[in-house]
Amino acid sequence: MAFDYSLDYKQIDFRESPELYRVGRGEQGVLMVEPYKSEILPHWKFKTPAIAQESSDKIHAMFLDYQKKDDFVGMDMARKFLQMGYTRARRYANYPGGKKYDNDGNVNDREIDDEKAESASIFEEKWIQVREDPDYLKRKKQHQKKYG
């Protein structure tokens, strides 16, 4: 089920109202769900492999902390930020400045940036780890069954 864009997400505390949260596809809603966005976003960086490693380690630690606190929404948001770290770093690895399209809507030529590709790989490893975590998968299924 997709996000309900008729809701004013900026006014909802999803920690207090997890029943309003919908998992969505991929990274959908990652920058709309509070208080998690404000908690995780400051740690989300991928400029260099060293920065990506520190960032992905921190976000993974947050995932584990949300897990300990029985906070599925936090777990899923950490998963989304790890996924977004991979996809954005991959975009910057493939296209200078992260610009896939030119001003006319044509796809720019790829110019692989090995440093950003390594950053993407670092995030991808953590993203796969959390999205395949058996406890995460169980909680995701339970949340979707209970709330949609």
| Model pTM score | 0.91
Summarize pLDDT for 35-89 with one digit per residue, the tens: 999 999 999 999 999 999 999 999 999 999 999 999 999 999 999 999 999 999 9
The pLDDT score that the predictor gives to residue 1 is 38
CA distance 88 to 76: 18
Summarize pLDDT for 5-21 with one digit per residue, the tens: 566 666 899 999 999 99
Q: Name the pLDDT band for 116 (thresholds 50, 70, 90).
A: very high
Q: Which helix (H) or strand (E) holds 118?
A: helix 114-131
| R_g of the chain, CA atoms, integer Å | 16
